[in-house]
Amino acid sequence: MSTLKVTRREMLAAMAAAGLSTGFYPKAALSEDRKVLRVRAYADIQSLDPAYRKAAPDDDVMRNIFPGLATMTPGDEWKWQPDTVSRLEQVDPTHIEFTLMDGLTWSDGYGPVTAEDVKYSFERMISPEVDSPYKGDWEALDHVEVKDEKSGVIVLKGPFPPLWNVGLVFGSGRIISKKAVEAAGGKFDTKPPAQCGRYLLKEWLPKQRVVLVRNPDWPGEPGAFEEIHVVPIEDEKTAELGLEAGDLDYTWVSVSSIPRYTENPPRNASIVVKPSLAYVWLGMNQQAAPFDKLEVRRAVQHAIDVPAVLEAAYFGAAAPATGLIAPGLIGHREKTLFSYDPDKARDFLKQAGMEAGFECTIDVLNKAERISAAQAIQANLAEIGINVEIRQHDSGTFWSLGDEKSGDSWKTLQLIISRFSMQPDPSFATDWFTPEQIGVWNWERWNSPEYGELNSKAKLETDPAKRHEMYVRMQDLMEESGSYVFLTHEAVGVGQSNTITPALMPNGNPIFYEFKPAA
């Protein structure tokens, strides 16, 4: 048997060569990667079943691997466009006719995509056995009629405008293979039993990446990249460095980084600021003294200088909100009812018999923006004699605070800064503040039957003008209650490599299959 003899000098030379080789390695990786789009997701995928999806990264992947009847149009205006159909038409308020495009075929030998698959996918969303958390997206669905192999009619129980803004265009509107899912036992997780999209899920390496590969059997225009690598990176700052170093082509950056990047864009990349649909507000628990007095709540509404709070928290990157509903959507209000006026705030405190001030708490998620906002509010309230103690929580703790089923913390909540994400339909914002939501997501414990009634009616209203008035009135009611100070919708900073042209929804949400290399 021969032995390998290496002298110390040879070993040192080999090590030096190995070290030097890393110097040219990045160039090799770069040239290879031009066929690969590398994008960041803020979390790993959890479930690709439309009925049980957990978060936006699931939706972002599903959009590429499953067909749908409609999808959101990339650009600055919220509007839908036909997806994998040759015809899609609302023939009357309760009937939507569709015809699937030719040539759609499921992977893994499950045959063509049929109207029966559409019926199965949508009716499954409202099935009591499936008990999907997203059944509300299809709450008006009665049934789907199959006319022939590719055509059918969606029959609704009543008019339902949110279907076009949420149900049909996002995850709940994805079509899955009836045969394949039934063969898999009626549900699946991160391994779809059959796929049919511009891309196919090739592999998922947990905590590393999702690899999507261009679908060779796609009958329409193929995706521009051979592969899309979706990399889960929870930490925004790490993702920002990844973009700066050229390891990522697309990522959202933190709101607080937007001003810095706008002034000094990263090398070979640019930052685009998009209006967010999310809403951030200061809530007051009406059942926790002294906020059970309207005068005290009104004093807080007048004591908070919202632009100053936003300057402290977002360094000028976020504009003040006028309500729950962001600009560009039905129901957006032009202005708030109450504004910053410390003298009025003191008067209201006097009316409440609390001119000497008092001590209270504010609960916030331990995110830099939220904590800075709480500190600015603390300073505002100190000016009128209210001493605020800031209580920070991690996400697991914070999101249970107002939930009656999770303990007694809801009883001691006083001030809360919250942020809810949003879909492009106003009902998605207003659903959480109804009387039925008290102790669930209505942590302010505000009870307005008028609001609840309007919320139900507005969902069914097909006249956009009337619908708009209803949502404006609902936000007025919220503000008149004294329990809400609307802070901001934040902003979305999209970081993109100069080598790509992304396709984004108005709020910066990505449509990966429409991303293209830069011209």
- The reply on whether position 246 binds other proteins by CB under 8 A is yes
Alpha-helical runs (H) found in 34-156: 56-65, 115-125
Contacting residue, 10, 76, 149, 234, with other proteins by CB under 8 A: 234
Closest CA to 161 of 471, 462, 429: 462
Site string for other proteins, 54-73 (x = CB under 8 A): xx------------------
Question: CB of 441: closest distance to other proteins in angstroms?
Answer: 6
Report 290-319 residues binding other proteins (CB under 8 A): none
| CB distance 411 to 336 below 8 Å | no
Question: CB of 400: closest distance to other proteins in angstroms?
Answer: 4
> What residues pair up with 516 in beta bridges, in sequence order?
501
First-to-last alpha carbon distance for the chain, in angstroms, is 59
Contacting residue, 102, 440, 450, 516, with other proteins by CB under 8 A: 440
| Residues composing the chain | 519
Question: Which stretch in 47-55, 192-200, 300-308, 468-476 sits in contact with other proteins by CB under 8 A?
Answer: 47-55
Question: Which stretch in 5-13, 25-33, 111-119, 510-518 sits in contact with other proteins by CB under 8 A?
Answer: 25-33
Residue placing its CB nearer to other proteins in the complex, 102 or 234:
234
Strand residue runs (E) in 1-103: 36-41, 70-72, 80-82, 85-92, 95-100
Residue placing its CB nearer to other proteins in the complex, 176 or 233:
233
At 213, list the tokens. Answer: 């590969």
CA 296 to chain centre: 34
Alpha-helical runs (H) found in 184-248: 236-244
Closest CA to 402 of 410, 394, 392, 413: 410
Residue placing its CB nearer to other proteins in the complex, 61 or 381:
61
Site string for other proteins, 73-112 (x = CB under 8 A): ----------------------------------------
Site string for other proteins, 114-143 (x = CB under 8 A): -----------------x-xx-x-------
Classify burial at 306, counting beta carbons within 10 Å of its beta carbon; exposed 0-12, middle 13-18, buried 19 or more: buried
Concatenating the DSSP letter of every residue in 439-466 gives: TTTBTT----HHHHHHHHHHHH---HHH
- The reply on whether position 248 binds other proteins by CB under 8 A is yes
Residue placing its CB nearer to other proteins in the complex, 127 or 238:
238
β-bridge pairing 516-517 and 250-253: unpaired
Residue placing its CB nearer to other proteins in the complex, 189 or 463:
189
State how far the alpha carbon of 400 is from the alpha carbons of 137, 187, 338, 408, 442, in Å: 24, 28, 30, 10, 12
- The reply on whether position 46 binds other proteins by CB under 8 A is yes
Residue given tokens 């299959």 in the structure block? 513
- The reply on whether position 518 binds other proteins by CB under 8 A is no
Classified as helix, coil or strand, 121 is helix
In whole angstroms, what is the distance from residue 173 CA to residue 78 CA?
Answer: 17
Report 359-418 residues binding other proteins (CB under 8 A): 393-400, 403, 405-407, 409
Residue placing its CB nearer to other proteins in the complex, 309 or 422:
422
- The reply on whether position 420 binds other proteins by CB under 8 A is yes
Summarize as ranges the residues that interact with other proteins (CB under 8 A). Answer: 22-23, 25-26, 29, 43-44, 46-47, 54-55, 131, 133-134, 136, 189-190, 205-209, 231-235, 238-239, 241-242, 244-248, 393-400, 403, 405-407, 409, 420, 432, 440-441
